[in-house]
Amino acid sequence: MIQENISLSRRKFLGNVGKIGGASAILGVTGTMELLAPEMTSAEAAPNKDDHTHKIEKPNKNSSYMLLNVRLESGFKYENGEVAATESVLRNIRVDKGRITKILDTNSPFEKDIACYDAKSMLLLPSFRDMHIHLDKTYYGGPWKAAATRKNGIFDMIALEQKLLPELLPTVQERAEKLIELILSYGSTYVRSHCNIDPVVGLKNLEKLKLALANYSDKISHEIVAFPQHGLLRSNVEGLLRDAMKLGVTHVGGLDPTLVDGDMEKSLHTMVQIAVDYKAGIDIHLHEGGETGLKAIRRLADLTEEAGLHGKVTISHAFSLASLAAGEDVAMADRLASLGISIASSVPIGKSVMPIPLLHERKVNVMLGNDSITDHWDPFGIGDTLQKAHLAAQIYGWKNEYNLSRALSLATGGITPLDESGKQVWPRVGNDATGVLLPASCSAEVVARLPIRAAVLYKGTLSSGTLDNVKTKVPNASRNI
């Protein structure tokens, strides 16, 4: 039964709204260091035969070290007015206490006794961001088990979780940590994890997830969404969500306000009011298609404007956007962009294709996530955000050098080494030393071919993979880290 609409006071919204606090550590784009962008010479490409490996400690946030022979994109090569290739140079990068302090030509002198690591001419790219995942719910790390059969859609899954969640609770932290290691191995150093808040487990999954993330605080940044998987109104968890916000959760979640909660207006109002009261963000799961979903998006946009939550709202999935008619899609995209409402997508494959290219063109912030990783919902997630950008490129026909290079931005939170005109904009002196080293020539190749992530750095710390310690004129001393 649809409950009576509950109105929200604009005055209450505006009186309480503030900036979101959170555990965000986002790569900057400040600094004044301009890289020269000549084509790489054969001398730069040749390895230094006098270098020998040398035993020293792993790079960490307090280290000072040189990252040698790093390949950086330097510009586009044009043929007949079209981008035909991406040029690169080799550089040595100095890192001090987690930040890039120098970007040098490979033949420029540097401090004699500083620790050195050899990137072996691998390409350095911005690290990736998994912006929709459920670290607290997974079979990963345990025996193989396929997803559950659904005859009554989401309601079957809610019933299953009421039985399954207590069984998984003893291993939540252990499996969350294994998932963190997995996404790190694929180059993600930023994660937004949704966490079940429901009457079955209360805040217990959240407590376990926070412990897991704390154990990796030197390797990855995070946000947490308090997610009412069994329905905000349906499971009567407003009080639990408010308790979760007091524990430092960064976003309040929601779920299908019409289909699951049965009262779109009250469900959205409750979610938005919690966000306003705790100066938090919003990230709602909206699976509802067609006009039902569109109505929820339009109403949430109105409430976002009313509450002053510009730039703090994300709609995950938003499948109904695929049903917009021509003209309506542009108007909707412009409305979302004007309010800074983001769309988080796992790039679904299905009959209705999400309008990601249009959203991107109209300046809507589109974020990618893996969502389920081998759990009772879906067995297919592998934990690789770059693979999602690769999938988008396939679906939308982004096959040429330029389009593939731009597709990288979907995985990195908008950061690319080259801007749209081919000017080098990343990395710069002053940036966090956060990135991924891959055996590839350019971003386009990386998106198309999905090469191995050889080493992952987060604020100077080696988060995953290996790097060779090197030091000139130190024979017979070697170690892989």
pLDDT at residue 160 greater than cutoff 70: yes
Cα–Cα distance between 365 and 341 in angstroms, integer?
A: 7
Least confidently predicted of 15-29, 244-258, 275-289, 345-359: 15-29
The pLDDT of residue 215 is: 98
Determine the pLDDT at residue 351: 78
Mean pLDDT of 290-311: 98
Q: Please give the torsion angle defined by the CA atoms of residues 36, 37, 39 and 44, in that order, rounded to the nearest 10 degrees.
A: 40
Q: CB within 8 A of 276, min separation 6: which ones?
A: 12, 13, 16, 17, 307, 309
Q: Which ranges in the chain are annotated with CATH 2.30.40.10?
A: 42-126+418-472
| Average pLDDT score over the chain | 88
Which residues belong to CATH 3.20.20.140 in the chain? 128-383
Q: Return the pLDDT at 180.
A: 98
pLDDT tens per residue, range 163-202: 999 999 999 999 999 999 999 999 999 999 999 999 999 9
Fold of 128-383: TIM Barrel (3.20.20)
**The pTM is what?**
0.85
Tens digits of per-residue pLDDT, 113-133?
A: 999 999 999 999 999 999 999
What's the per-residue H, E or C state across the chain? CCCCCCCCCHHHHHHHCCCCCCCCCCCCCCCCCCCCCCCCCHHHHCCCCCEEECCCCCCCCCCEEEEEEEEEEEEEEEECCEEEEEEEEEEEEEEECCEEEEEEECCCCCCCCCEEEECCCCEEECCEEEEEECCCCCCCCCCCCCCCCCCCCHHHHHHHHHHHHHHHHHHHHHHHHHHHHHHHHCCEEEEEEEEECECCCECHHHHHHHHHHHCCCCCCEEEEEEECCCCCCCCCCHHHHHHHHHCCCCEEEEECCCCCCCCHHHHHHHHHHHHHHCCCEEEEEECCCHHHHHHHHHHHHHHHHHHCCCCCEEEEECHHHHHCCCCHHHHHHHHHHHCCCEEEECCCCCCCCCCHHHHHHCCCCEEECCECCCCCCCCCCCCCHHHHHHHHHHHHCCCCHHHHHHHHHHHHCCCCCECCCCCECCCCCCCECCEEEECCCCHHHHHHHCCCCCEEEECCEEEEECCEEEEECCCCCCCEC
The residue among 254, 261, 231 whose CA lies nearest residue 161 is 231
213 token code pair: 């993330």
| 456-480: average pLDDT | 75
Dihedrals φ, ψ of 271, to 5°?
-60, -45
pLDDT value for 9:
39
Parallel/antiparallel/unpaired status of strands 99-105 and 128-133: unpaired
What pLDDT does 62 receive? 87
Residue type, 98: G
Q: Which residues pair with 82 in a beta bridge?
A: 79
Give the residue-averaged pLDDT of 80-97.
97
Mean pLDDT of 268-290: 98
Instruction: At 366, list the tokens.
Output: 């589109």
In this prediction, residue 58 carries a pLDDT of 83
| Residue 4: Cβ within 10 Å count | 8
pLDDT above 90 coverage of the chain, percent: 81
Structure tokens at 219: 């390797």
The residue behind tokens 């509950």 is: 6
Is the torsion defined by CA of 412, 415, 421, 427 positive or negative?
Answer: negative
Q: Residue 4 — very low, low, confident or very high, per pLDDT cuts 50/70/90? A: very low
Say if residues 405 and 123 touch (Cβ distance below 8 Å).
no
Question: Omega before 355 cis (within 30°)?
Answer: no
Structural tokens at position 265: 């207006």
Q: Cα–Cα distance between 383 and 213 in angstroms, integer?
A: 16
369 Cβ partners below 8 Å, 6+ apart?
Answer: 130, 131, 132, 133, 192, 316, 344, 345, 346, 385, 388
**Interval 259-276: pLDDT, tens:** 999 999 999 999 999 999
In this structure, are residues 99 and 433 in contact, taking their beta carbons and an 8 Å threshold? yes
Q: pLDDT for 403-424, tens place per residue?
A: 999 999 999 999 999 999 999 9
Tokens of 148: 């559950």
Distance between CA 51 and CA 47 in Å, rounded?
9
pLDDT at 352: 83
Write down the pLDDT at residue 5.
37
Of 32, 411, 378, 385, give the one whose Cα is nearest residue 183.
Answer: 385
- Per-residue confidence (pLDDT) for residue 28, from 0 to 100: 30
Whether pLDDT at 1 is above 80: no
Query: CA–CA distance from 87 to each of 37, 75, 149, 436 (Å)?
Result: 8, 5, 49, 18
Using alpha carbons, list the distances in angstroms from residue 27 to 87, 130, 279, 335, 427.
Answer: 23, 14, 23, 27, 10
Largest CA distance in the chain: 79
Architecture of domain 42-126+418-472: Roll (2.30)
Q: Tens digit of pLDDT for each residue in 28-76?
A: 333 323 333 333 333 333 344 344 444 446 898 888 999 999 999 999 9
At 152, is the pLDDT very low, low, confident or very high (cuts 50, 70, 90)?
A: confident
- Mean pLDDT of the region 16-37: 32
The predicted pLDDT at position 274 comes to: 98
